[in-house]
Every structure is written in structure tokens, then in C-alpha cells.
Structure 1
Amino acid sequence: MPSAKLTLSDLPLEVLLDNLFPILPTADLLRLATTSKGFSSLGSDESLWRRKLRDDFNFDGAGTARRAGWKFIYRGLSKPRVFVWGERSHGRLGLNRFPKHAKDGVPFPMQLSTPGASIIKLIAGGMSFHALDTQGNVHVWGALHGLSYALVNDGYSRKEKVAKTPLKLRLPNPVRSISCGRLHSSALDNKNKIWTFVNWGRPFELASPLLSQPDSEPIQIECGWSFSSALLKNGEVLVWWPTTGSLAEIIRAEGDRLDNQSIGQAQAVDGVIPCHTWTVTLDPVLLPSLPPLPDITNAEEEFKKNPPRLIEVGGMEDQLVGLTNYGHVLKYNGLHNEQATTSDWHYLPEFSELSRVRQLPEFSDGEGVDKIAPPESLKITHVSAHFRHFFAYSTGASSVVLQGESTTASSSKPKVISELQNKDVISVVLGDYHNAALTANGKLYTWGQFSNGALGLGDPLMLPLGAPGGFNDENQLLRARDRGHGTPPDVAVPTEVKFDHGRKAAKDRFCFDVTAAGWHTGALVIDLEDENEEEEGIEWESEEELRSGFSHDHWQSPPIIPLRGTAPAFRIGFAGRGRGRGHYGRGGPPSA
């Protein structure tokens, strides 16, 4: 008898999802999904589309807690939109025109053009942005080191050189991830090589025997204020300081040598910075292993078999926040420089244990106007940090978001922002004095200080009195309009950011990535509606007009950074602010 013919539907599901569907062209996969209910269900599998996003777009959702919606994002990534806002000095927004009547900076999202690049990840630096595209290329704009100035003819071997609009870095290999400190950045490429930038023209590869040990594959690169760190597969953490100490001396000596030989000047040509790469062989500092930790999951056998290890870290001013595979949150202090690493990891039970979180005063049985129901279960899944603050949060519709500070100790209780609880928050990012939270349904919320528009809630001179991001008092509003004095009050309640400013008709858009640092913010969004281009009703001021009118953003002296514990500083005279305006608000001048 003839043997029965084997059909596609006879193949095991694992073969279809793991071997066949991922290599099918997307158009063929979508057509196959229309042939039956079974293939339709398989064609919507979340793990399949997450894999296709990684393979086709170099996008894996790293840095967020997203668990679903990968097929939707795949469809939208064919044309993502880049939006930026906030402080605009040092070219950090990459824009060639600005809102004409905005008080300071850009106080609402403005779309940035990135010709020929499909951006899938934004990373804000102290005075810059880095972007990763679907091909693993890195694009940069702003200044990596904006505390002094480069000459017009200087190339990007100078750390002070400003990229006024996005430029692409020509690197040896496609890049997987990037992290930014205040005046430097580090990247991990697809061959697991670690690159560090103190300028955009001469990145160096970090080479060390510590990176060639068993299970020493780096799984995360994370920058703090002045240090870089690598979290390894085995849970250990390496730290190095590119802008201070012995490594800074090595970088300076190599820079002098290359300058004397006129090598690697890195002049941008046709929108590309040709990077001159080199290698530093140096052992980073290996941080101590974790202390004994309690079993907070009641999985005794698993806990004994697989002890806790770090799976994520977040970089602060001179500290690291760590997260284990079981949800323990820890903090490491004392990362000022390479000589100051004599501390240990300190466990934060108030951020980790269900019983302690349930006892926080913001949680209750649901009674009371400002109370929220305590969580029934808890496992912290992500941490994020910047400057002097950090967040630890869980995932899902009943997600918990907890805030800590640089002063947080083992007995410290977290700050709980009621409006962020049970909101399916998938990402929290921090600037110097402002914060942003992204939810699974594509909504972006910001809160904190105005910081020259970093909240993105609109022009405070045009917002109604009492609106988040606007003035509360009419006299303050009039004084700001007439004399340019005054700063809107802080926004305490996370408020939604809109991406349709200046349009006559509202535009529904979905935010899938957000970043913040210093006094600026950026986001990636996709349209939820059919394309309907409309001229935005905004009066613009070009870069040339800014220069000819000697605008307050044409020239700036280096930022004055207040010492910790001192009062905020004020600029004297014009000092780059123009028209006698010197007030920066309670946070002091931009650290970025």
C-alpha cells in the first residue's frame, strides 16, 4: 500500500515554531496563517514574533519588561518615529529647527529625522543621544563631552566635538546594546566585544583575561555617572573608569600618539564618522560576590540547587543596583574611582520581600482615597537607575513600582507612587531630576522637575493654569511670559505625554521605547492610524535664525555643577542664557 503523505500540519509544533516559521519570509508566514485556525494560532505565537524581531530588526526589547505584543511591534517597526524633547544645548536633540516661542528648551516631543535608518533603540547620554538601528549600526548626536568646545575643523577624535544632527559610527561589528554615562558610553557588539567611547572617533575594545573565563560572557553593559560595568553570565560584575585614574591616562597617551601621527582624526564624511578602533588590555575591577541571601520564593530545593545570581544591574552616580534571578534587590556603594571599591553588596529586603512591601503605608486593603490594594504576590523583575535614584519593579497588570535613592540602606523603605501601581509598567527611565514610565499599552508618563522641557507635557507658557507642566499662579505665568523668569512647579503625578503636539487633529500613537538622562528625553513610537500627514501648527526657529539673533542657546559656558549638599547655583550675566535669564530651577543647572 502506498505510504500516507506527510503534510505541514503533521509536523510537531516545536519543529514549526523553532525551525520552520522563523526562517519563512514574513509575507509567506502571514499567508500561511490564513489557511486554517491552527496555523492562525501558531502564526500569532509571541515567542515566534519576538524571535523574528531579533533576527529581522535587531530588536529584542532589552531593558523593558514587555512580555507580549511582539507581532504588533514587528508590523510597526517598518517605520518607527523618533521623538526628542528637553534641554537643547550642545546639539543634544539633533534638531535643525525649534519651536519659536517655547520658554526654554523644547517642552514637547518633536520628531527627529534619521534618513536611511530604522531606529529600534534610543539611549540618552549626559549631553547626547545614541541610537541603534535594525542593522546594528550606532547613530549619535549632541556632544559626548560638552564641558568645553572643539574647533570647527576638529574631527570626532575630540571628545568635545558636537554632532548637530545624527551621524552614523563606522564600527567593526554590528552592535547589540549600548549604555551611556555622563561623559562616556559603552557598547556590546554581536561578537561579545566590549567597546568604550570617551570620544566618538576612537573607541577602544576592552580586553582582559577576566572576560575569557568560563561563563564570563557579558550579558549586559551598564554605565554609571563616570564608570562602566559588565554583568557576566555567571553573575559577576566587572567595573572600569574611562574618564579617571589609570585607564584615563592610557587613553590620553594613546590619543596624543595618534594626534602626533595624524591618525584617526575621524572627520565625518557623508553623515558617517570613520572610527579608528584600538585595544586596551586591562583587568577591570571584579566586584565581590553576593552575600548570603534569604529564600524569598519558598522554592527550597530550587534555591539550594541554583543559588541566587545577578541578572541585571543599574548604574547610578557612584553606585550599582543589582537584581537576582529570584527577585532580590541589592546595592553596591563606593564606585567613585578604581581605588574606592572596598564595599560589598547590601541586600534591600524592603524592596524585595512580599511581606515587607505589603506593610508599606501606601498599601492597604483598598479602603481610603489614596490607598491601593497590597500585592498578592511579588517578584521584582527589573531595576533601572541614574544619578541619585533607582527603581525596582515587577511585571504584569498587578505590577509594583518602588523608588529608592542613593542614600537607601538595608533598612530603608521605598517610595511608592500610587499612580504607577497595577499599571503594567514595562520600563522606568530616569534623568537627573525627571522620570518616565512606559506601559505595555504604549502609553508614556512623566513626572518630576521641568528641566527645560524634559517632561514633554507642553509649553508652560501656553498650558492652562494648574495643568501638569504648567504654572499654578497667574502672576507667575505673566512674569514668565513678559520677563522670562520662573520655572513651573514640579509634577508629582505621572502624566501622559502626547505625540501629536501642534496638530489640528489628535494622532493616536504607540510608544515602545523611552530613554532619559540629564535634562532631556527621547522616545520611539509607531502610528496606530493610517498615514495622514498634516502640517504642524508650530512657529519654527531655524538654527541659522538662532545664530543670527544670538539666541540663548547659541552659546553656553560650561555648566556649573553644584557640590553635593550645596544650594543650586545661578548663572551671572548672560552666561549663554540670553536676555538676563539665569534661573534654572531648584535642580541647579543641567548636569548634562
Structure 2
Amino acid sequence: MHSPTLASIPPEVLTDNILLRLPLRDLIAISACDKYLAILCNSDALWQRKLRLDYDFTVPRDRPLENVSLKTVYQRIGSPRLFVWKCEHITHPVPSHRDFCELKVDRRVVSLVATHSAFYALDDEGKLYAWGEKVHWRRLLTYKFPFGSEVLPVHIKLPTPIRAISCGSIWITAIDTFSHVWFIPDWKQAYRIVNPMLEQLSSEAQVAQVESGWRFIAILTRSGELHVVQPRSGIPNPGQNLELNGSIIWNTPLRLATMPPLPNLPAINVGEEEALSPKLVKIAASEATIIGLTDQGHVLQLSIPVAVGESILFEALECGKIQWEYLPFLSEVEKVRTDPMYSPPETEFEKMDPWTQHVTRFSRVFGRCPPPPYGFLQMPPRIVPTPPCILKISEIFISDNDICAYSTGPSSTILIGSTGMRASDRAEVFPAHQNRPVAHFARTEHTAAFLTPQGKIMGWERTARGKYADEPSMMTIPDSTKGWLFLSITAAGCHFSGLAIEWEELDADTTNAYESASEDEGDD
């Protein structure tokens, strides 16, 4: 009878229960003992789990960092950098320092969120930091981030570590490591929302996502149920309530919005998932709208009329007067393929560029060619993108009054709708956005950008006519000769931001120094 060896243990058991628990010094040593163990110790599966366990950094499911070893990401994520660009100068080859700044904090940042007036970041210990200014919503249209000057971070103190945040126009909401939901009206106060139903969900770690609307907070559970909270009517007086570690417990009612029956979408991956009923897995919120995404790619909208009062709002939700509406033009590939942008020009006039069309119209009316207007640039003919063969929306968000739904991968489809759109309304398809290698997409009113699978940020500026350039420009770091690998991007208002790490090949001295530091860590 052969004695058991490490090679006889299933690789997933060996990775999750042994290798993941070893100090870095022992992990490096054991990888040099056996070829099989070396393969496991250098696998992305192991380092993806260590990134989550040690730094609370989650690699997206579709693994956007192509051709990048997650072990190398782990080596360098200890000192990430936060960069901010002004939107109207996103396509400049070398942006000036007046249009660019770096957000500095002596912490290991793993998540970044943008608002119109500030940026919020979470570090690997669950601490929350902010840059900029927490402004009232009435000033949002005139406020811009203070470029050209050093912006110091503000530590927003909470009694428990935070694992996710959502920033609205008036307040911030957060989920801590115990699945408790927090309401943060400003940078000095935090209230934990307490309700019997919510407490039960928290005890079972069932709170999956929280989103901040202008008049409500939306809470999504792991089972796909949506709960709506109205914070304004229940904000407590700090002097009259029980304090818990500097924060105040707050009781408020919850209401549930149920999902309607949905059509079957063409299955991309055959498996058990397609045989089950669609489940809500992601949400996004704005002033009076909640957008939902199912695990099968359905996009839904829950519109809340602005005229509805606070007391009537929850009564209408409870009675079923406000219901989800399915948006097929943001979900179904057959509907998307019928968009006119995917149809080639049929007449010679349609094949002309915009200036030639203008000349032709003018000549037909006046019998002569018009003078070129000041500032008018001749444009190339309209691009006809290749329509998608398959489509499964994987990400959604709301930017100002626009709904953004897109698929990720080497040939992405990006669809833009509007809040309040109906089931019969078409989505807007920008040809320049289609069929790009997109890991993450971000958008403001005048600018759009995407993170590539290689960790680069590409962006477009929008012209006064609402068009985008055919080809995006790569966003650069002023006066930097180093290579950068961007891990995430975020955008709001008039600015974009990216979380990046230095990306230059490690030489022998750097590798030896890292392994020496790992050995020192193991001795501690």
C-alpha cells in the first residue's frame, strides 16, 4: 500500500486548504521542491484567492488582465497609485498637470468610486477614504474636482471594516464585513440600518449589493430579492439615540419589489444556470430609477415617478403599482441587430461623409457649392460595425440620465439607454464603442472610456454633435517613463480615475528582494 503524498491530494483541496494558508516564505520554498507543486504555487487560481484574502482585491470573473500573471499582480499591488484625468482633456497625448492629478494615500487601496465632487477609496483593511468635497446636490452642476493642487484624503471612520460602497448625490451607503448596511449622510456621521428582516439577512451573509438613489437605498440579496429603504424620514437625532462605537443604530421600514416573468434568452453556456429561473444579480440606482440585471442577461427598470411623495412611494411599491419593466432592446441580440447603425448605407447620398452631404444639399437648393463653415472638419463616412452574433449583458450602471449596459470580452457590445425608457424604445448604439476588447466601461456626459484586457485605459471625447472619434486614445501619465497596469476605472461628473500599479518586468535583483522580504515576513 502506497503512503499518501501531496500529489495524491486533489488540486483544489491542496490549493484552498494548504497552499493558501502558508506564509509566503514557505510557499516559495515548497514551489522549488516538486514540479507539480510548482505548477500549483504559480497558478492564477491560488494567487486570485490570495489577492482576495490578503488585500481584499477581487479579480473580475471574466479575468480582464490577459497575459498577466496574478502572482506578479500580487507582488506589486502593495503600492497601487490613483490617477485622475479631467474629461475634456482625456484624448490629449500628454495632458498637462492642470488636467491631471494623483490621489495620494499611504494605504493599499483595492477599490475606487467616483462622484461629481469627490473620490472614495477602500483599502485592504476595509477603511474608507475620501478626496474632494462632500457637496449638496444643488451645487453638483457647478462643482469640479480641484485639479492642479494637492488634495489630501479624509478618513471616514466607521466601527467595522467596509467591503463595498455606493455613492449617490446626497449620501453614501456601505456594506461591512458582517453584511450590515450603513447609511453615511456626511463624512462625520454613519448610521447602521437595523430592521428584523435585514438583521436576518445580515446574520446569514445574504446582503450582496447596496445602491444609493436620490430618495432611497436599494438592497439586493444573494437570493435575488430587492429591498427598498427610505432614509430621509427616519434620520435620528444623534443626541437622542443610543451610540454604538461612535455610530447610531437606526430603525426604518423595508419594502420589496418583485420581478416579473421574463422571456428565455438564447443560452451562451449550456448548463444548469440556463435551466433555472432568472435571478437578479446586479442593480444600479439614480434619482428615481433602479436598473436590474439577471444572471441570464435580462435588463430591467423600476421607475419611481418624481411626483410620488415619500409616504405614497412605499405604499405604491407594496401594492404593486410600481413594478419592474423588462427592456428587450438592452437585452436581446435580435433586437440589437435591428439597430440602423448595423445597416450599411443603401444610397450614394448615405455613403457620403457629413460635409459632402451638406455640399450636395446646398447645391441642389442654391445651384452652387457653399463655403466651408468655420471650424467644420471633414468627417469620414459612417462606420458600420459588425453586429453581434451572441449577446449576454454582464454589467450595468447609470451615468447621469443614461443607462449603460454592456458585455465584456474580446468583442464587447455597449448599449446606451435613458432612464424612463419603455420596452419599445431602442437603445443607442455608438459605432465607435462596438467590438472593442472591454473589461470595464465608464462614461460621463461628454466622455467615454474602457479598460482593456491588457490593463490599458482607452477613451473618447464627445463632440458638440454628440459623435465620438472612430478610434479611442490611450490615457497617459504626464512625465512618467514607467509602464502602468490599470486594475480598475471609475468616472463621474467631469473626471475619470484609474487604480494602477507599476508594470515593468522584474529583474533578478527585484525578484530576490521580494523573496527576501517574503522570508522576513514568514519569520515574523
Q: TM-score range by the shorter chain?
A: 0.7 to 0.9
Match of 1:239 in 2: 228
- Return the letter of the residue paired with 1:310: L
Letter matched to residue 335 of structure 2: R
Aligned equivalents of 1:71 and 1:372: distance in 2? 37
How much is the aligned-residue C-alpha RMSD, in angstroms?
Answer: 3.7
- Counterparts of 1:422 and 1:301, CA distance in 2: 26
Offset at residue 241 of structure 1 (A): 3.9
Tell me the residue number matched to 1:229: 218
Shift of residue 347 of structure 1? 0.6
Cα shift at 1:309? 1.5
Partner of 2:251: 281
Greater length-normalized contact order (CA 8 Å, ≥ 6 residues apart) = 2
Give the aligned partner of residue 36 of structure 2: 38
Q: Which residue of 1 aligns with 2:79?
A: 79
Kindly report which structure 2 residues correspond to 1:438-453, keeping only aligned pairs within 5 A, or say none: 438-448=451-461
Mapped contact 2:238–2:248 kept (Cα < 8 A): no
SS at match of 1:362: helix
Instruction: Measure the CA separation in 2 of the matches of 1:371 and 1:147.
Output: 40
Letter in 2 for 1:388: N
User: 2:214 aligned with 1:220, yes or no?
Assistant: no
Partner of 2:298: 328
Name the counterpart of 1:166. 153
Q: Does the CA contact (< 8 Å) of 2:460 and 2:473 recur in 1? A: no
Q: Write the distance in 2 (CA, Å) between the matches of 1:224 and 1:376.
A: 35
The answer to whether structure 1 residue 410 and structure 2 residue 428 are counterparts is no
Q: Check if 1:184 corresponds to 2:176.
A: no
Q: CA deviation at 1:494?
A: 6.6
With over 3 angstroms needed to count, the CA separation of the structure-2 counterparts of 1:380 and 1:71, relative to structure 1, is farther
1:255 Cα deviation after fit: 4.3
- For residue 411 of structure 1, what is the amino acid of its counterpart? S
- 92, 107, 118: which is aligned to 2:99? 107
Q: Does 1:137 align with 2:127?
A: yes
Change (3 A) 1:439 1:370: same
The residue identity in structure 2 corresponding to 1:119 is V
Q: Which amino acid counterpart does residue 232 of structure 1 have in structure 2?
A: T
> Aligned letter for 2:264?
D
Taking the aligned partners of 2:215 and 2:114, their CA distance within structure 1 comes to: 15
Structure 2 match to 1:519: 494
Paired with 1:210 and 1:335, the residues of 2 have a C-alpha distance of: 26
Summarize the alignment of residues 471-486 of structure 1 with structure 2, pairs less than 5 Å apart: none
How does 1:3-14 map onto structure 2 within 5 Å?
Answer: 4-14=2-12
Alignment partners' CA distance in 2, 1:140 and 1:501: 23
CA distance in 2, matches of 1:65, 1:300: 20
Per the TM alignment, residue 304 of structure 1 is displaced from its structure 2 partner at its CA by 8.7
SS of the equivalent of 2:341 reads coil
Aligned runs of 1:28-427 on 2, under 5 Å?
28-61=26-59, 66=64, 69=68, 70-86=70-86, 106-108=98-100, 110-115=101-106, 117-146=107-136, 165-213=152-200, 217-242=206-231, 244=232, 246-247=233-234, 250-251=235-236, 254-255=237-238, 257=240, 276-287=246-257, 289-297=258-266, 306-334=276-304, 336=306, 338=310, 339-340=312-313, 341=317, 342-363=321-342, 370-427=383-440
The answer to whether the Cα contact below 8 Å between 2:65 and 2:455 also exists between their aligned partners in 1 is no
**Could you tell me how far apart the structure 2 residues matched to 1:49 and 1:335 are?**
47
Q: Contact between 2:394 and 2:406, CA under 8 Å: does it hold in 1?
A: yes
Counterpart amino acid of residue 259 in structure 2? L
Compute the displacement of 1:530 (Å): 6.2
402-411 vs 325-334, which deviates more?
A: 402-411
Verify the 8 A CA contact 2:165 2:174 in the aligned structure 1. yes
1:428 to 1:301, Cα distance in 2 relative to 1, 3 A = closer
Residues in 1 aligned to 2:205 and 2:11: alpha-carbon distance in whole angstroms: 34
Residue aligned with 2:37, SS: helix
Provide Cα deviations, 1:15-39, integer angstroms capped at 9, x if missing partner: 1122122112234334444555433
Any idea what the Cα deviations from partners look like across 1:539-566, whole Å, max 9, x if unmatched?
xxxxxxxxxxxxxxxxxxxxxxxxxxxx
Partner Cα distance (1:384, 1:202) in 2 = 27
Match of 1:270 in 2: none
| Distance change in 2, residues 1:134/1:13 (3 Å) | same
Is the 1:315–1:386 contact (alpha carbons within 8 Å) kept by the matching residues of 2?
Answer: no
Quick one: structure 1 residues 17 and 313, their matched pair in 2 at CA, closer, same or farther if it must change by over 3 Å?
same
CA-CA distance at 1:228 after TM superposition: 2.3
Residues 1:29 and 1:14: Cα distance change in structure 2 (over 3 Å): same
Task: Give, in whole Å, the separation in 2 of the partners of 1:67 and 1:439.
Answer: 8
Q: CA deviation at 1:321?
A: 1.2
Match of 1:528 among 488, 503, 506: 503
- Contact 1:186 1:194 (C-alpha < 8 Å) held by counterparts: yes
Offset, 1:48: 2.4
Question: CA contact under 8 A between 1:348 and 1:409: conserved in structure 2?
Answer: yes
Does the CA contact (< 8 Å) of 1:210 and 1:283 recur in 2? no
Please report how far the alpha carbon of residue 365 of structure 1 lies from its aligned counterpart in structure 2 after TM superposition: 9.5
Q: 1:174 to 1:230 in 2, by over 3 A?
A: same
Residues of 2 paired with 1:41 and 1:365: CA distance?
50
1:173 Cα deviation after fit: 1.4
One-letter amino acid of the counterpart of residue 132, structure 2 = G
1:191: how far off?
0.2
Assess, with a 3 A threshold, how the Cα gap between structure 1 residues 513 and 347 changes in structure 2: closer, same or farther.
Answer: same
- Residues 506-539 of structure 1: per-residue CA shift (max 9 Å, x gap): 432111111122222221111112699xxxxxxx
Task: Check 1:182–1:65 CA distance in 2 against 1; reply closer, same or farther (3 A cut).
Answer: farther
Structure 1: give runs of 5+ residues left out of the alignment. 88-100, 150-162, 265-273, 450-467, 469-486, 533-592
Distance 1:421 1:282 in 2: 44
TM-score (norm 2): 0.75
> What is the rounded CA distance, in whole Å, between the counterparts of 1:7 and 1:54 in structure 2?
28
Contact 2:128–2:155 (CA under 8 A) maintained in structure 1: yes
Query: C-alpha offsets along residues 125-174 of structure 1, whole Å, 9 cap, x if unaligned?
Result: 2322111001111111222234699xxxxxxxxxxxxx951122332211
Secondary structure, in 3 states, of the residue corresponding to 2:472? strand
For residues 209 and 403 of structure 1, do their structure 2 counterparts lie closer, same or farther at Cα, with a shift above 3 Å needed? same
Quick one: distance in 2 between partners of 1:213 and 1:517?
Answer: 34
Q: Report if the CA contact (8 A) 1:382-1:393 is conserved.
A: yes
Judge conservation of contact 1:201–1:275 (CA < 8 Å) in 2.
no
- Amino acid of the residue matched to residue 134 of structure 2? L
Q: Measure the CA separation in 2 of the matches of 1:343 and 1:525.
A: 42
Tell me the CA shift for residue 324 of structure 1. Answer: 0.5
Q: Supply the AA of the counterpart residue of 2:332.
A: E
**Distance in 2 between residues matched to 1:315 and 1:284, nearest whole Å:** 17
Name the CA distance, whole Å, in 2 between partners of 1:135 and 1:76: 17
Aligned 1:16-27 pairs, distance under 5 A: 16-27=14-25
For these two proteins, the number of residue pairs brought into alignment is 443
* Structure 2, unpaired ranges of 5+: 88-94, 140-149, 347-380, 508-524
Q: TM-score, normalised by structure 1?
A: 0.67
CA-CA distance at 1:11 after TM superposition: 1.7
Asked if the contact 1:187–1:194 (Cα under 8 Å) also holds between the matched residues in 2, the reply is: yes
Distance apart, 1:216 and its partner CA: 8.1
Distance 2:340 2:138 in 1: 47
